[in-house]
Chain A
């Protein structure tokens, strides 16, 4: 199992462009994808393929019939080269898609190893029978003991066990799974390390979590996302528009007393239609899903990734996302006349045996503030555990009786009026959202410990960043409104929902959505499921229940609620990459026109050389340079398509300006330079007349 993890980490670490295990199959895949039935799904590249076939036929016929055939006198070498580069254009586009799929497949292969056939111990009427895991159906009951592989996705209905989930998550620390509650879900392929559990299977064969995951990354079951469909429509429409421009050119040329060869017309058409984005579009989509997978997030559909880019409101659970999730001591406030050192020492002693996170944090804070470092091993210490009756805990030693507890309980314990200053500080702490703990020794109140929810460092900056991205954050918490407001203020969230219940959560989502907002949230419990199902982007934690996972459209294998932010970034990055390459592709047309149009009519109308602003060597070299540029640019942009355009949270206006400058203006200028360069090279090696 450990090598599998290393294997996966190795794959993730390496750039796939240089990875031979991906490169080889991708090259083979580029040729397999030439199948017209597959190509027809991509209208832009299908047109290029048809063009390649036609030019190949012209080239072949002329090769046998002599030079003065279809391609025009002494032009066979030119037609051959155009044809070759058109094929390359198609192959490069196929290669991009195959590369993207290859990266997913590599991960799927790693996953598939864990799905190796296991034997399930199915319980039928209390009897145990052995069946292949693939025969398990929804509702079957199976038994797993230490050393067994869990045969399928399911819920623990009996027992508790520690489970190694590294096959799915890459995380080697075992997790606890038990019947009932929010930690009952087990995933097929994971290994039981200790104890015995009874599991009810919740997925039919072929529909398990692992199956869906493999299907997705392999893109076999990948469906086009709404935005991808819209973009495809635009590209198809542009293709038709440019077909009109190209096809009608022949009659116009005939009227002008000249004519255009079919090869040149096809070259012009291929250069004008948006082949760059047409060739890279599906690779961008697959890479988007794959990029998330590299961050250990499984997208259940491409649609979810796309929606993540659109999200404008994040619902974040306070615990675990915004705060560390448990109260920690942050301050000691002594009563009047009491030295602070005495309070700290007493607080530490009272908490030595307190195994709760709060207790540990008191000891830690005391030591940070320089207490005597007493240890629990000292003799004569009698620890008094917390009880619901006394609502206090503490220690007795050397005749000292030290206690800590809620202020009212401590007041009763001391038998005296609690000093006004203490009451005051208790109230202040309460108002600020913290929890006060009063410490006393031998019926004397020494002071107060301020326990509070510690906001994770850096989260404030993160929220500021989100605001710049145009995202609003709403904190969800079960705390009372006072506490919630305090944490909200400290962490910098835009809004909060206090005393949240599943119903209130669902209602909040519905309200936000009816105001036009797109909501993303994370969740793990069964009671999160309705809200997860309602949210536009719902990230279920892998540690969560089966119900939560079913309701989510993304699953975070690391179960890290802050991942939501990365998911949104990944979604935006995917959309930006599409937009950038579309803009680039269309902007490229300007230069290609100036390369090809003068070339076409130069022979008939030498005056048109004025339009040859790039001063290209000859009509043939001009056309060929444009075609070669058009093909090569796809290869050059593959890394960008797979990696995605870098996303920086700078706000829409700046983002648009920067990207328009790079991909729009750059898209107009780059091909002028590129085509000229190729023309110089072609001329230098005498590949064109």
Chain B
């Protein structure tokens, strides 16, 4: 167990180093500076612009930027939807899977377009290779690139000195893909293959078991998909078991490597932000707030899983770790990973917007499971999704600066930009959209027969399953409390709506905020300026995230995981 914790800490240190290097590199990429890869990629980049008919120098206002995001997303959503519906008539379908039903195809297409990767299907039993490699992996890159582009646009809005424009969406998304996501994915895929992750386009393998039965073993071009699944915070694995499957996550090293990948770009963007606003400390302050929250939530999850099920403790079962036993709550966990690495995976995958799993979140202790719920309900800001994490954290920054900044006796400002009614309205709207979607859909679901048909369990746990589904989908996470039967018309459609709202309704206030800030004069900093790169501000930001972000969900959490934990402790089993 001690060794496990050492492994956790080493992973975090690796993230810090990797994020610093990548963050500086991304700053160069998005500022249009030369990088190591420019000699090779620059011609490709130019060719892309020529093919798309994009003028590289053409700057966009926030409205044009938003429209571009939406156009690309809607078109690619339709593309995926059509492929999924028609996969039986298209090539690369050696297993002869049928076309995906309309509601499931809708949910899945929205899910991948929004970087959620909520999966109401079993990958290896539903999707052809073409669907996996083209329709879905396309979004693994594109949705991640859209997230990065939006974050960069907001950074530009905050750092701009005079321009009212935010850059060019097509250029930003192309650069994110070409210079960051693609080269890293290639590298990662090789590393994963070296550790035993499958990469094949042949048919499934038949194994003859010792009992003489034939077992069909699913394989596929999965190492490449696994790379972008983690790096791009997508989380949608080719296997239903996701990162618990040995072909996706063969050993302890790949487990920690995948966690490293999930955290890499979200933290690196903090460094990029610092570089773009001209003060690395500003980026580090945000990274610090994210890091402290992540470490705290990870610790709660690991502790809660290691301590184990309170009902079993009450019954006198020994759940302590020994030299031969991982101890703790092992229900729904891989023996390879144990409670510490599973707890870390759960906290990381929901702190980022990845949503891949190496254990059943449904089987976590209630408090352990609540870690996932709370992090998603916060809007995923520790460190959050690729791009989405920092842009949502900046929303909280705006709110923190506004609430507490007044206490220094000046109109609140962030990095010299005054925070006035327009910015407050947009930031509050961004939070409101999240709250309304999560609580609204959950409330409708617990009252409607179609919604009530979903959960596997009764009582508090069943409630958590529904709450988790809408928290995960609104936050574009994609992990699930496995108990819920999601592949119904009701959940496919409401879930699809929640995912769309969580991503593309949020686009509007976020980019409008970028636009509002872009046009503002910069107030020079002085002794009367509220410093946003100090530990005090980090503490304040964490406080606002927890109070504004989490308190809203306290009543709901009380009836879900908190109640369940207390009931387990009291020996009431449902």
A interface vs B, CB < 8 Å? Answer: 226-227, 229-231, 233-234, 237-238, 240-242, 244-249, 251-256, 268, 272, 306, 309-310, 312, 467-472, 515-518, 571-573, 575-576, 578-580, 582-583, 586-587, 589-590, 593, 597-598, 600-601, 605, 607-608, 610-611, 647, 651-653, 655-657, 659-660, 663-664
CB<8 Å pairs between A and B, sample of 21 = A227-B411, A230-B423, A231-B402, A244-B439, A244-B552, A245-B555, A245-B556, A252-B443, A252-B559, A253-B559, A255-B463, A310-B411, A516-B522, A516-B524, A593-B555, A597-B554, A601-B563, A608-B566, A647-B409, A656-B407, A660-B536
Name the CB-closest residue of B to A252.
B559
Stretch at the interface among B270-278, B293-301, B326-334, B414-422: B414-422
Q: Which residues of A contact B540 (CB under 8 A)?
A: 660, 664
Q: Which residues of B contact A652 (CB under 8 A)?
A: 408, 410, 527-531
Stretch at the interface among B54-62, B352-360, B429-437: B429-437
* Contact present for A470 and B432 (CB under 8 Å): no
Q: Is B76 an interface residue (CB 8 A)?
A: no
B428, B462, B463: the one contacting A233 at CB < 8 Å is B428
* Contact present for A234 and B409 (CB under 8 Å): no
Name the CB-closest residue of A to B526.
A470
Give chain B interface residues in 355-413, CB to chain A under 8 Å: 399, 402-411
* Contact present for B424 and A234 (CB under 8 Å): yes
* Contact present for B421 and A589 (CB under 8 Å): no
* Contact present for A611 and B562 (CB under 8 Å): yes
* Contact present for B419 and A230 (CB under 8 Å): yes
Give a binary string over B492-517; 1 marks a CB under 8 Å from any A CB, 0 the rest. Answer: 00000000000000000000000000
A227, A589, A601: the one contacting B547 at CB < 8 Å is A589
**6 tightest A-B contacts by CB?**
A470-B528, A579-B406, A572-B409, A237-B428, A579-B407, A607-B566
Q: Is B548 an interface residue (CB 8 A)?
A: yes
B404, B521, B523, B534: the one contacting A579 at CB < 8 Å is B404
Name the CB-closest residue of A to B553.
A245
* Contact present for A659 and B407 (CB under 8 Å): yes
Q: Is B570 an interface residue (CB 8 A)?
A: yes
B416, B536, B562, B569: the one contacting A657 at CB < 8 Å is B536
Q: Which residues of B contact A653 (CB under 8 A)?
A: 531, 534, 536
* Contact present for A245 and B528 (CB under 8 Å): no
Q: Which residues of A contact B419 (CB under 8 A)?
A: 230
Name the CB-closest residue of A to B423.
A230
Beyond the given A470-B529, A579-B406, A583-B407, please list 18 additional residue pairs across the A-B interface where CB-CB is below 8 A: A227-B411, A230-B423, A238-B428, A244-B436, A245-B555, A255-B447, A312-B526, A517-B524, A571-B409, A572-B410, A575-B409, A576-B406, A593-B551, A605-B567, A607-B570, A652-B410, A660-B407, A660-B536
Bound Cα distance from A664 to B536, whole angstroms: 12
* Contact present for A248 and B421 (CB under 8 Å): no
How far, in Å, is A345 (CB) from chain B's closest CB? 51
Q: Is B440 an interface residue (CB 8 A)?
A: yes
* Contact present for A254 and B411 (CB under 8 Å): no
B interface vs A, CB < 8 Å? Answer: 399, 402-411, 416, 419-421, 423-425, 428-429, 431-432, 435-436, 439-440, 442-444, 446-447, 452, 459-460, 462-463, 521-524, 526-531, 534, 536, 540, 543, 547-548, 551-556, 558-559, 562-563, 566-567, 569-570, 572
Name the CB-closest residue of B to A313.
B526
* Contact present for A611 and B558 (CB under 8 Å): yes
Q: Which residues of A contact B572 (CB under 8 A)?
A: 607
How far, in Å, is B245 (CB) from chain A's closest CB? 34
* Contact present for B410 and A575 (CB under 8 Å): yes
* Contact present for B406 and A607 (CB under 8 Å): no
* Contact present for B555 and A244 (CB under 8 Å): no
Name the CB-closest residue of A to B418.
A310
* Contact present for A251 and B567 (CB under 8 Å): no
> Which among A467, A652, A655 has the highest number of chain B CB atoms within 10 Å?
A652
Q: Which residues of A contact B570 (CB under 8 A)?
A: 607
B406, B411, B559: the one contacting A601 at CB < 8 Å is B559
* Contact present for B432 and A237 (CB under 8 Å): yes
Bound Cα distance from A573 to B406, whole angstroms: 10
* Contact present for A251 and B526 (CB under 8 Å): no
Name the CB-closest residue of A to B549.
A241
Bound Cα distance from A576 to B410, whole angstroms: 8
* Contact present for A252 and B428 (CB under 8 Å): no
Q: Which residues of A contact B411 (CB under 8 A)?
A: 226-227, 306, 309-310, 575
Q: Which residues of A contact B399 (CB under 8 A)?
A: 234
* Contact present for B421 and A515 (CB under 8 Å): no
* Contact present for B559 and A656 (CB under 8 Å): no
Q: Which residues of A contact B569 (CB under 8 A)?
A: 607
* Contact present for A309 and B410 (CB under 8 Å): yes
Q: Which residues of B contact A467 (CB under 8 A)?
A: 527
How far, in Å, is B263 (CB) from chain A's closest CB? 29
* Contact present for B416 and A516 (CB under 8 Å): yes
B403, B408, B436, B439: the one contacting A586 at CB < 8 Å is B403
* Contact present for A655 and B409 (CB under 8 Å): yes
How far, in Å, is A591 (CB) from chain B's closest CB? 11
Q: Which residues of B contact A251 (CB under 8 A)?
A: 442-444, 446-447
Q: Which residues of B contact A471 (CB under 8 A)?
A: 528
Q: Which residues of B contact A593 (CB under 8 A)?
A: 551, 554-555
Q: Which residues of B contact A468 (CB under 8 A)?
A: 527
Given A233-B424, A589-B551, A590-B551, do A244 and B404 touch, yes or no (CB 8 Å)? no
* Contact present for A244 and B407 (CB under 8 Å): no
A310, A580, A608: the one contacting B410 at CB < 8 Å is A310
Q: Which residues of A contact B566 (CB under 8 A)?
A: 605, 607-608, 610
Bound Cα distance from A607 to B563, whole angstroms: 7
Bound Cα distance from A593 to B408, whole angstroms: 29
Q: Which residues of B contact A229 (CB under 8 A)?
A: 421
How far, in Å, is A626 (CB) from chain B's closest CB? 14
How far, in Å, is B232 (CB) from chain A's closest CB? 31
* Contact present for B460 and A230 (CB under 8 Å): no
Bound Cα distance from A571 to B524, whole angstroms: 19
Bound Cα distance from A71 to B263, whole angstroms: 51
Q: Which residues of B contact A237 (CB under 8 A)?
A: 424-425, 428-429, 431-432
Bound Cα distance from A610 to B526, whole angstroms: 48
B406, B428, B436, B522: the one contacting A227 at CB < 8 Å is B406
Q: Which residues of B contact A240 (CB under 8 A)?
A: 432
A252, A310, A657: the one contacting B446 at CB < 8 Å is A252
Given A244-B436, A309-B409, A579-B406, do A656 and B524 touch, yes or no (CB 8 Å)? no
Bound Cα distance from A272 to B404, whole angstroms: 19
How far, in Å, is A488 (CB) from chain B's closest CB? 19
How far, in Å, is B210 (CB) from chain A's closest CB? 48
* Contact present for A583 and B556 (CB under 8 Å): no
> Which among A312, A471, A515 has the highest number of chain B CB atoms within 10 Å?
A312
Q: Which residues of A contact B435 (CB under 8 A)?
A: 241, 244-245
How far, in Å, is B501 (CB) from chain A's closest CB? 14
Name the CB-closest residue of A to B539.
A660
How far, in Å, is A656 (CB) from chain B's closest CB? 5
Bound Cα distance from A471 to B410, whole angstroms: 12
Q: Which residues of B contact A234 (CB under 8 A)?
A: 399, 402-403, 424, 428
How far, in Å, is B224 (CB) from chain A's closest CB? 42
Given A244-B439, A607-B567, do A470 and B421 touch, yes or no (CB 8 Å)? no
Given A238-B428, A579-B406, do A586 and B548 touch, yes or no (CB 8 Å)? yes
Name the CB-closest residue of B to A655.
B408
Given A230-B402, A248-B439, A607-B570, do A516 and B523 touch, yes or no (CB 8 Å)? yes
Bound Cα distance from A656 to B442, whole angstroms: 39
* Contact present for A256 and B407 (CB under 8 Å): no
Name the CB-closest residue of B to A572.
B409
Q: Which residues of B contact A312 (CB under 8 A)?
A: 523-524, 526, 528
* Contact present for A256 and B460 (CB under 8 Å): yes
* Contact present for A576 and B408 (CB under 8 Å): yes
Name the CB-closest residue of A to B560.
A252
Bound Cα distance from A572 to B405, whole angstroms: 12
A254, A310, A607, A664: the one contacting B404 at CB < 8 Å is A664
> Which among A252, A587, A598, A647 has the highest number of chain B CB atoms within 10 Å?
A252
